[in-house]
Amino acid sequence: MSGLQPVRGTQDLLPDAQRRHRAVIDAARRIAERYGYQEIATPIFEFTEVFARPIGETSDIVSKEMYTFTDRGGEEITLRPEYTAGIVRAILSNGLTQSLPLKLFASGPMFRYERPQKGRFRQFHQIDVELIGVAQPLGDVEMIALGAEILDALGVLKRTMLELNTLGDTASRAAYRQALVGYYAGHSDGLSEDSRRRLEKNPLRILDSKDEGDKRINAGAPPFEEHLTQEARDFFAKVRAGLDTLDIDYVINPRLVRGLDYYCHTAFEFVTTDLGAQGTVLGGGRYDGLMGVMGGPETPGVGWAAGIERLALLIEEPASAARPIAIVPLGDAGEAMALTLAQSLRRAGFTIDLGYSGNIKRRLQRADKIKARAAVILGDNELARQVAALRDLDTGEQTEIPLAALTDRLAPFR
């Protein structure tokens, strides 16, 4: 390795990449606000139990992927691998269960130790929305509609497909779990090592296995819909009816599961094949049992998260920042004037670049390099007459403008 490099699985967001990231976040924030969601920020690290308790000690995230360490005070700390648990913890810590329903939006970095690949990093970023305290199917519909609206604003919706499934209620899941255990017990020799381990703890996770042998066995697994209670069927029917009313297209994917017990009813993902293999760009679902698992009152919740890196790869090139106006001072009087003029023009709403050194040729070369729209040249001769030379850098045309009229004359270059 020559020179310092970023840690594997991390990346520097240089200005062009950061502009794409910001376009994703700004669009999501703007539309979430229209739906009544308020922005929240939680710490990047939490006590490990905040994530380990709801995610489960046996899950891959906890056992293989979390960045966990003991700090100098002897506390076990984890960098957040996902947003939801931290947001629920914040609700409990701050006594916000008295203020339900809560509609929250967040964005920021997550950390998982996994194999880096296209659109996937060990430090990655997500936008996240959570609706806490709404038990009705309408909450699920609004959550999906918000996701679709954001993807549409980013020009990505038509390149995705919404996959939908129901995970049923507690009684449905218990019945289905029993059916799965019975089915997989007759095929355990053919299951992967991971799936054999899941058979005891979390058989629903086997349905989501990427192992080819597991996939063949899964093809014969009993369908979940045969084990749904009437209440669960009615809930899912209302979600689908709401999506139909909003003309949001979807396909039912019976293999779309969430292995953790606090998930229930609706699970959904917007997937795309435009990043190579099929990839999820936005996914979520209902998690009515999570607050209870974390020690709070039983409270319904539904939410989703979307990967900013993946969305940033899919969006069109965002508009560049406003082209600056270069101020080119010549001589001591010009230097002194340039400082106050630059500040005055910035306060008037202009983007101003003030070169720090060099003759006029070098300063104008810099103006070209930064794609400046115009240059304001301040030399002793001009200042003695209380004017500035204004050069249109697209046409090369140069005119003299009285300093008092400069702000108005620059308006077309804003």
Spatial separation of the C-alpha atoms in residues 325 and 406, rounded to whole Å? 12
129-148 average pLDDT score: 98
C-alpha dist (Å) from residue 375 to 299, 325, 357: 60, 6, 15
Burial class of 67 by CB neighbour count within 10 A (0 to 12, 13 to 18, 19+): middle
pLDDT on residue 81:
92
103-111 average pLDDT score: 97
Closest CA to 54 of 298, 293, 304: 293
125, 139 contact by CB (below 8 A) = no
Question: How many other CB atoms sit within 10 Å of the CB of residue 56?
Answer: 19
pLDDT on residue 117:
67
Neighbouring-strand partners of residue 45: 79
Predicted confidence band of residue 58 (pLDDT cuts 50, 70, 90): very low
Percentage above 90 pLDDT, the chain: 64
pLDDT digits (tens, 9 = 90+) for 370-411: 899 999 999 888 888 999 999 999 999 999 999 999 999 999
Beta-strand relationship, 38-39 and 102-111: parallel
Instruction: Please state the φ and ψ torsions of residue 280, each to the nearest 5 degrees.
Output: -85, 130
Residue predicted with more confidence, 163 or 368: 163
pLDDT on residue 277:
65
- Judged against a pLDDT cut of 90, whether residue 306 lies above it is answered with yes
Tell me the angle at which helices 84-93 and 48-55 cross, rounded to the nearest 10 degrees: 120
Neighbouring-strand partners of residue 38: 104
What are the structural domains of the chain? 15-169+229-314 (3.30.930.10), 325-413 (3.40.50.800)
pTM of the model: 0.87
